[in-house]
Amino acid sequence: QRRLEFRIVPFGETQRLLIARDITRIYQASEMRKDFIANASHELRSPLTVIAGYLESFEDDTEECPASWRPLIGQMRNQNGRMQRLIEDLLQLSSLESSDISSHQESIRVAEVLFSIYKEAETISGTQDHIFYLESDPELCLMGNQREIYSAFSNLIFNAVQYTAAGGVIRIRWYEDEQGAHMSVSDTGEGVPEEHIDRLTERFYRVDKGRSRERGGTGLGLAIVKHILVRHNAKLHIESVFGEGSTFRCDFPKTAVI
């Protein structure tokens, strides 16, 4: 039942220093934290579904529900929806944390995945008339977990829609070079001030909390993306110029490409 951590570090010219540590307690505390978040999220799911159902029937009941209540019910539904998205994101994060690599690996036709995300992004953009460009290599496939990859890429692409003003340009690319395969999303949106870039993948880190909430964000999207990429031996690279736009790029090693 014990967990030991061993580290070997260079020591002097020819020697090595071996440090062994009993990390049983730290490990147990971290497992307890993970279990607690997963259980609490799971327990909150059902009451929120019930509340959402009642609010929906209130809204639909034009005879019983006074007109002056409608905006209030609309707000309650919005907030309830936000809580449901938070719970779903927390559950996804805790399931990603529960193992280092995903059990289900398959060959993913990334071009098809990106096409269906792009269609969804167009719906989210709605009347904002964002201009989308999608360039993807149809032959280039990835070894990994399709559901996870869908989730990571859609988080990045939907963020581009959320943080780019109407009429802005969103360019999605899936391509290969000497280093490996890359999926990049560039936008001409609001961009991120440099001092925030390194912290964006932390849980609940947002440049502007109020605006992210207004848009229905959970602040967990990029943390989920980072976790998924680590599980695929990939890295997230972020470039952004405040006021001009951003590029979020996922770099996959050659070994993940098929």
Site size toward ligand ADP (CB under 6 A) is 21
- Contact pattern for ligand ADP over residues 60 through 79, marking x by CB under 6 A: --------------------
- Which of helix, strand or coil describes residue 219? coil
Nearer to ligand ADP, 148 or 187 (CB): 187
CB of 189 to ligand ADP, least distance (A): 5
Q: Are 237 and 249 contacting, i.e. CB atoms less than 8 angstroms apart?
A: yes
Residue 159 interacts with ligand ADP (CB under 6 A): yes or no: yes
- Which of helix, strand or coil describes residue 24? helix
- CA 113 to CA 181: how far, in whole Å? 15
Among candidate residues 230, 248, 225, the one with its CA nearest the CA of residue 92 = 225
Place of tokens 């280092």: 100
CB of 199 to ligand ADP, least distance (A): 9
Residue 170 interacts with ligand ADP (CB under 6 A): yes or no: no
Q: Are 175 and 140 contacting, i.e. CB atoms less than 8 angstroms apart?
A: yes
Residue 181 interacts with ligand ADP (CB under 6 A): yes or no: no
Among candidate residues 51, 161, 87, the one with its CA nearest the CA of residue 117 = 161
CB of 170 to ligand ADP, least distance (A): 9
Q: Are 236 and 249 contacting, i.e. CB atoms less than 8 angstroms apart?
A: yes
Residue 157 interacts with ligand ADP (CB under 6 A): yes or no: no
CB of 187 to ligand ADP, least distance (A): 5
Strand order in the sheet with 180-187: 131-136, 169-176, 180-187, 245-253, 235-241
Residue 152 interacts with ligand ADP (CB under 6 A): yes or no: no
- Contact pattern for ligand ADP over residues 208 through 227, marking x by CB under 6 A: x---x----xxxxxx-----
Residue 153 interacts with ligand ADP (CB under 6 A): yes or no: no
Among candidate residues 203, 219, 94, 101, the one with its CA nearest the CA of residue 155 = 219
Residue 207 interacts with ligand ADP (CB under 6 A): yes or no: yes
Residue 168 interacts with ligand ADP (CB under 6 A): yes or no: no
Residue 229 interacts with ligand ADP (CB under 6 A): yes or no: no
- CA 52 to CA 145: how far, in whole Å? 31
The stretch near ligand ADP (CB under 6 A) out of 25-33, 55-63, 65-73, 204-212 is 204-212
List 118, 163, 174, 252, residue binding ligand ADP (CB under 6 A): 163
CB atoms within 10 A of CB 161: 23
Where do contacts with ligand ADP occur on this chain (CB under 6 A)?
Answer: 155, 159-160, 163, 187, 189-192, 200, 206-208, 212, 217-222, 246
